[in-house]
Structure 1
Amino acid sequence: MSAKYAPKSALGRAVHSFEETAIAVILGLMTLITFVNVVLRYVFSHSMIWGLEATLILFAWLVLFGMSYAVKVTAHLGVDAVMGMVGHGPRRVMALASAALCLIYAFLLMKGAWDYWAPFGGFDQTGGRWFPEGFIKTRDQAWYETETIPMPDWLRFIEGPMNAGEHYGKLPRFIPYFILPFGVALLFFRLAQAAWDVLRGRREALIVSHEAEDAVADVRHLNAEE
């Protein structure tokens, strides 16, 4: 689907390249860790005890980072049967209404993501049940560690500001958990971009992917060639 997305500015191309590279690296690391662990287990009767947790974290990063990328390149699937039955004007109104609902949902999700991650990062949660009403004092949980992932020595510099100088035995949770507020904030940004494009007439809807129709067209084309 990314082939249909063509960023026009140099910054857009750089960001697009970074996102695709990050997704490829995450997928590559998941595959590599899993493959090495299988070889170690069945050939050498050994295993990387942290491999499973690292793979789970990378999968979460892939999902939370990839959902905003899919909005940008219109790779999400959707049902547009009703929109296809109406004219351009009503279709645009429906698209803007759905965009507004998606933005509200992403905003609420962003608040929840921050409130969940903030204690692990040594920050305060937001007050209010639905919308932020300032910050409330929150117990610092930056000392929480992952279960099995070792702490890299090159990250020891964070022990001073984040853990009052105390030693981390394992990787602190605020590092892998950071993808939660970051990924949701990026999703909100991409949805806002898509809504702006709908408003300006650059796209008809947030979801414009038709994988099933494309697959049928490909099969029809292959059959015609035969």
Structure 2
Amino acid sequence: MSTHYEPDTMLGRVVNEFEESAIALILGLMTIITFVNVILRYGFNTGLIWGLEATSLLFAWLVLFGVSYAFKVTAHLGVDAVINLFSPAGRRIMALIAALVCVLYAALVLKGAWDYWANFANLPQTTGRWFPTGLEEMKRTSYRGWYEVVDVPFPEWLRWIEPIMNDGERYEKLPRFIPYAILPIGMALLLFRLVQATIRIARGHSAGLIVSHEAEDAIADVSHMNKGD
């Protein structure tokens, strides 16, 4: 199955550009930080103290962006042994059911992601056990915007957020609400991509959410390479 993706709406194009640009930027930053750290360590017997934490946070961003990206290009792996026992119409129905379950799951995770991040961003969490029914009333004692990461220093060009998020107090390290923002962003992208995939399946433009027979295709490719084909 082809993994080529062409967005057909303005929203789809905007989200696609944001997603791919963010992934490229994250990969570039991880490469630069790691390269600089290696040079400093082996060439000057020093290093970036915050390098490991920074690359770990960037890798977490990359993973969460990658989850939605893989749904976009139908790159997630799955088992289709049972699905292939059904007729094409039956497979389509099962694919739709699976997609709707995934949409429901993504909506639940998005609520949890927002509630977790809001605790660090001086924002209200949602009410409701499973689905949002409103926003909790925020109290001054509920603000957690002062929580910082362990090693990554606070960038000087972000000092303007201190009066907004930290009552004017100076940040020494990066506040956690910045790296943790990938939780609601990543889950919102996941929900968006799953809704897109569900619509494509319903319209007959896609057979499902997963790549079928990728393992078999990979084995065939390796076999051809070994034979010199």
- Listed as ranges, the gaps of 5+ residues in structure 2 are none
Matched, 1:64 2:67: no
- The residue type equivalent to 1:218 in the other structure is D
* More displaced 10-residue stretch of structure 1: 125-134 or 92-101: 125-134
How much does 1:103 deviate? Answer: 0.9
How much does 1:10 deviate? Answer: 6.8
Aligned-residue sequence identity (percent) comes to 62
Distance in 1 between residues matched to 2:65 and 2:210, nearest whole Å: 18
Q: 1:50-199, aligned counterparts within 5 Å?
A: 50-138=50-138, 139-199=142-202
Distance in 2 between residues matched to 1:180 and 1:30, nearest whole Å: 19
Distance in 1 between residues matched to 2:225 and 2:64, nearest whole Å: 36
Q: Residue 7 of structure 1 aligns with which residue?
A: 7
Distance in 2 between residues matched to 1:43 and 1:153, nearest whole Å: 28
- Listed as ranges, the gaps of 5+ residues in structure 1 are none
- 1:132-181 residue CA offsets vs partner (Å, 9 max, x unmatched): 22222351101111111111111111111111111111111111110000
Alignment length, in residue pairs? 226
Matched, 1:205 2:201: no
Answer whether contact 2:92 2:201 (CA < 8 A) is retained.
yes
User: CA 1:85–1:7 in 2, change beyond 3 Å: closer, same or farther?
Assistant: same
How much does 1:44 deviate? Answer: 1.2
- The residue type equivalent to 1:174 in the other structure is F
- The residue type equivalent to 1:184 in the other structure is M
TM superposition score normalised by structure 1: 0.91
* More displaced 10-residue stretch of structure 1: 14-23 or 60-69: 14-23
What SS is found at the alignment partner of 1:4?
A: coil
User: CA 1:214–1:10 in 2, change beyond 3 Å: closer, same or farther?
Assistant: farther
- Pairwise CA RMSD of aligned residues? 2.1
Distance in 2 between residues matched to 1:34 and 1:6, nearest whole Å: 33
* More displaced 10-residue stretch of structure 1: 88-97 or 35-44: 35-44
Answer whether contact 2:117 2:177 (CA < 8 A) is retained.
yes
What SS is found at the alignment partner of 1:201?
A: coil
How much does 1:193 deviate? Answer: 0.5
- The residue type equivalent to 1:43 in the other structure is G
Answer whether contact 2:145 2:166 (CA < 8 A) is retained.
yes
Query: Which of 215, 218, 225 is equivalent to 1:215?
Result: 218
Distance in 2 between residues matched to 1:133 and 1:16, nearest whole Å: 30
What SS is found at the alignment partner of 1:108?
A: helix
Matched, 1:16 2:19: no
How much does 1:71 deviate? Answer: 0.3
User: CA 1:2–1:15 in 2, change beyond 3 Å: closer, same or farther?
Assistant: farther
User: CA 1:222–1:70 in 2, change beyond 3 Å: closer, same or farther?
Assistant: same
Distance in 1 between residues matched to 2:39 and 2:198, nearest whole Å: 47
